[in-house]
Amino acid sequence: MNIESVGLKDCYLIKPNIFNDERGYFFESFNNKTLNEELGMDLNFVQDNRSYSKYGVLRGLHFQKGNHSQAKLVNVLSGRVQDVVVDIRPDSETFGKHISVELNSDNKTQLFIPRGCAHGFLVLSEFAEFYYKVDNYYNPMSESGIIYNDPDLDINWQIEKKDLVINNKDLDLPLFKNVIK
């Protein structure tokens, strides 16, 4: 496994060692001991989630507040997505910054997102199946988010606005400056 920093504190791309032959491929997609050793953390993932979305679907930017905050290990089982992470930790040297990476089923790359970050993704292919692990159980009372087109964040989404498919709940999310006070 190869781990590389992506410019946000404690946020990493994780590239697996893939073994290809005439039968197909094999790789270890998750090993808690190895991940903890490589990241220097003590993670314990407790829940797995999957979503299936069509082209143009934008989910996010979401996060869980307080004691229900979640670290995530995300990847794409089929298709391609633009994955965006925003650092919302006021004490972080990368507070208010965001990264945007493409995750796809071809390269099998995963993204580790630490607690205290907002997260969202945009489907770039005809469809995408998105899979992620979280280290804390979902709590609906701690659910929060930031509007995808926040002018202070100035995220460059890779699809024209007219082609985005966003649910009403995500369209009603507040601005970054109103979430982080």
Selected catalytic residue, list 62, 98, 119, 148: 62
The domains located in the chain, with CATH, are 2-179 (2.60.120.10)
End-to-end distance of the chain based on CA atoms, in angstroms?
38
Predicted TM-score (pTM) of this structure = 0.95
Catalytic annotation present for 138: no
The model's pLDDT over 88-142, given as tens digits with 9 standing for 90+, comes to 999 999 999 999 999 999 999 999 999 999 999 999 999 999 999 999 999 999 9
The answer to whether residues 97 and 87 touch, using CB atoms and an 8 Å cutoff, is yes
Catalytic annotation present for 132: yes
Selected catalytic residue, list 12, 98, 132, 148: 132
- DSSP class per residue in 125-139: SSEEEEEEEESS---
User: Token pair for residue 138?
Assistant: 């979902």
C-alpha of 108 from chain center: 14
Q: Region 6-12: what's the mean pLDDT?
A: 96
pLDDT of residue 181 exceeding 90: no
Of 50-54, 55-59, 177-181, give the lowest mean pLDDT range: 177-181
Q: Region 39-55: what's the mean pLDDT?
A: 96
> CA–CA separation, 5 vs 7, rounded Å?
6
The answer to whether residues 96 and 150 touch, using CB atoms and an 8 Å cutoff, is no
The 8-class DSSP code of residue 1 comes to: -
